[in-house]
Amino acid sequence: MAKTALITGASSGLGAEYARQLAARHVDLVLVARDKTALTALAGEISSRSRVEVEVLAADLVVPRQLEKVVRRLEDVERPIDMLVNNAGFGLDLKFERNDIDDEVRHLQLLVEVPMRLTHAALGPMLQRRSGRIVNVASVAGFIPRSTYGANKGWLISFSRWANGRYSQRGVTVTAVCPGFTHTNFHERMGLAPGAEGVPGWMWLDARDVVAESLRDVARGKAVSVPSLRYKAIVALTRVLPADLVARAGERGR
């Protein structure tokens, strides 16, 4: 297991759960998010439970100068990062034509450009050491036509597959983690009340289970991790069902 992990979007949701589970495995942490207060609170919680070092790095990753702080931290060979978890993100309404185009551009930057830049920054030192793990938190939506969110996550899956094949023989694995609907505050941040997504209860996953299963797949060096048997089955069905039926399924939820 990695010695130090840098996690983006670490202040809540899956990012915070990755932080907790990695700390329980005695991994030191660098926590990255916009909300320094939330990061500091999480760092205090983790430090009180686990004997690990926790560094807080507040940054808005779509602001170039703030993104550069995280790039420099990843490139610091004196304080090596052994695992990068690209988790930062947000969602938009599926009605692309109604969304503000500048919001869509920021969405694209955070879900595609930012993980690409951070992966590039992490790869150099990792390849020199011939050791490292990169985790790109994608989504089952990446297999399903689902507005720009699905398109962005599809890019991340494709890139991770290629990168894992390219670099795993040199000691660095790259895994796209593709959860389905997961109980976090992601939908709350979109302004949706609990239960307002129109998604049946059986489709919801627990964040702890998603992170635990994905970390097992990361340890195995898998290029793509789809937590839970139900979503593995759904992804398999997307390959054989008619495209228009898959597209209609992608309209479910927010």
- Mapped onto helix, strand or coil, the DSSP state of residue 20 is helix
Cβ(92)–Cβ(147) below 8 Å: yes
The pLDDT of residue 192 is: 44
What pTM was estimated for this model as a whole? 0.89
* Alpha helix (H) residue ranges in 144-227: 147-167, 186-189, 207-219
pLDDT under 70 in the chain at which residues? 1-2, 185-200, 202, 240-254
> Average pLDDT over the chain, rounded to whole?
89
Residues identified as active-site:
149
Can you give the three-state secondary structure of 99-130, one letter per residue?
A: CCHHHHHHHHHHHHHHHHHHHHHHHHHHHHHC
Domains identified in the chain and CATH numbers? 4-249 (3.40.50.720)
Task: Determine the number of helices (DSSP H) and then strands (DSSP E) in the chain.
Answer: 10, 9
The rounded distance, in Å, linking the Cα atoms of 236 and 241 is 9
The rounded distance, in Å, linking the Cα atoms of 22 and 50 is 10
The pLDDT of residue 196 is: 45
- For residue 138, what are its two tokens? 């994608």
The pLDDT of residue 190 is: 46
